[in-house]
Amino acid sequence: MYIGIDVGGTNLVAGLVDESGKILHKASCPVDKSMTAEELTRQLAKLSLQAAKEADCPLSEIQAAGVGLPGLVSNKTGMVIKTTNMPFYNTPFREIFQEDLKIPVYLGNDADCAAVGEYWAGSAKGFDPALVITLGTGIGSGMVRGGKLYIGHGGAGMEAGHMIIHPNGVRCGCGNLGCWEQYGSATALVRLTREEMEYNRDSLLWQLCDGDTRKLEGRTTFQAVRENDATARKALDRYLEGLSMGLINLVNVLFPEIVCLGGGISNADDDLLLNPLRELVHRGSFDKDHLPRIERASLGNDAGVVGAAMLCNMF
C-alpha cells in the first residue's frame, strides 16, 4: 500500500493507493492559509495517518508516501525549494514529515505527479515515452521515459509551459515574453475570446456571459462555437494554433508515443478540440511514420494522488 498526497491551492488530499494505482480511500481538508511550512507539512502527515486509519490499513503495510506540490522540489534532498501561493521555501519537507510518520517519503511537482498517475493507471498506461499536458491557469507538463520520471538537472525539467513560442509576445507571469502557456492554457483561451469579442458586439458570446467578460470561461467559447458563432470560432482557431504550436515542438524534440491532455479544457467535445488538434500536430510532426497518439487524460483530479503514491517507483 502507498499514500499519495496532492497539495492544492484550496484542498489537501491524502489517498491510500494499492500497487495497481487504485485509490482505496481518501481523506481531505481545506488549506489553512495561516499555517507555516512546518505546520502544513505536519498537517499532511496527520492527513496521511487519517486516510490509513479510516481504511483500516496498519502503518506496517504502507511502503511509502509521495507528495505532489505546486512548485520546485528536490526529491534527492527531500527539500521543497519554492512553491506558488504556499509557505514552502527551502523547507526540509521529508525531515519534518518523517518526524510524525516514519516511512519513506518521495517528492514531486504536481504536474509530474499527474503524468505518473496517467502512466500508471490512466490513459497513458502501456505507452512509453508518455507526455502529459495539463491545461489550466497555466500549462503543466510531465514525461515518463523508460518507466522513469524525467525531471532534468535540479528537478525542474519539463516546464514546457515556459518555452517561448512567440518572441516579444504576451508577457508571462515568469517574466518572459511569449511563453506557451500564454497561448495554450485555459487562461489563454479566455483572453483570446475576450479580444475577439471586442471586435464584434453582436457575438452570442456577449449574451452567454451576460455582457460581462469577467464571467467568461473556457467552456463559454466552446458553447458558442457549437451554436455557430463566428467570433467564438475565430477565437478557438487562434487558441488551437497556439496550443498546437507548443505540442508540435514537444513532439519533434521528444517523440513521445502518446500525449495526454488534462484539465477542464480537455473535456471539450472531440470535434472541437482533439480532432482538429490531432490534425494540426500530425501535420507539423517531423517523423510521419511515428506520429504520437493524442488522447484525453482519464484520471481527472485523482491523477495527482495516484501519481504521488507511485513516485517511489519512478526515480
For 225-262, write each residue's pLDDT tens digit.
999 999 999 999 999 999 999 999 999 999 999 999 99
Confidence at residue 173, expressed as pLDDT on a 0 to 100 scale: 87
Reported as a pLDDT band with limits 50, 70 and 90, residue 57 is very high
24: helix, strand or coil: strand
The rounded distance, in Å, linking the Cα atoms of 102 and 185 is 39
Reported as a pLDDT band with limits 50, 70 and 90, residue 153 is confident
Confidence at residue 84, expressed as pLDDT on a 0 to 100 scale: 78
The lowest-confidence range among 5-9, 83-87, 97-101 is 83-87
Q: According to CATH, where is 3.30.420.40 located in the chain?
A: 2-117+302-313, 127-297
Confidence at residue 85, expressed as pLDDT on a 0 to 100 scale: 80
Residue 9 has pLDDT above 80, yes or no: yes
CATH class in words for 2-117+302-313: alpha beta
For 64-73, write each residue's pLDDT tens digit.
999 999 989 9
Residue that is written with C-alpha cell 515515452 in the block = 129
Confidence at residue 180, expressed as pLDDT on a 0 to 100 scale: 97
Kindly provide the b/e burial profile for residues 175-196, where b requires at least 16 CB atoms within 10 angstroms of the residue's own CB. Answer: eeebbbbbbbbbbbbbbbbbeb
The rounded distance, in Å, linking the Cα atoms of 121 and 177 is 36
Gyration radius (Cα) of the chain, Å: 20
Query: What mean pLDDT is predicted for residues 22-28?
Result: 96
Q: To the nearest whole percent, how much of the chain has pLDDT over 70?
A: 100
Architecture per CATH, domain 127-297, reads as: 2-Layer Sandwich (3.30)
* Per-residue cell: 82: 519554492
Reported as a pLDDT band with limits 50, 70 and 90, residue 111 is very high
> Cβ distance 174 to 123 under 8 Å?
no
Query: What mean pLDDT is predicted for residues 33-41?
Result: 95
* Per-residue cell: 190: 479566455
Kindly provide the b/e burial profile for residues 73-95, where b requires at least 16 CB atoms within 10 angstroms of the residue's own CB. Answer: bbbeebbbbebeebbbeebebbe
Residue 156 has pLDDT above 90, yes or no: no
For 260-290, write each residue's pLDDT tens digit.
999 989 999 999 999 999 999 999 999 999 9
The 8-class DSSP code of residue 292 comes to P
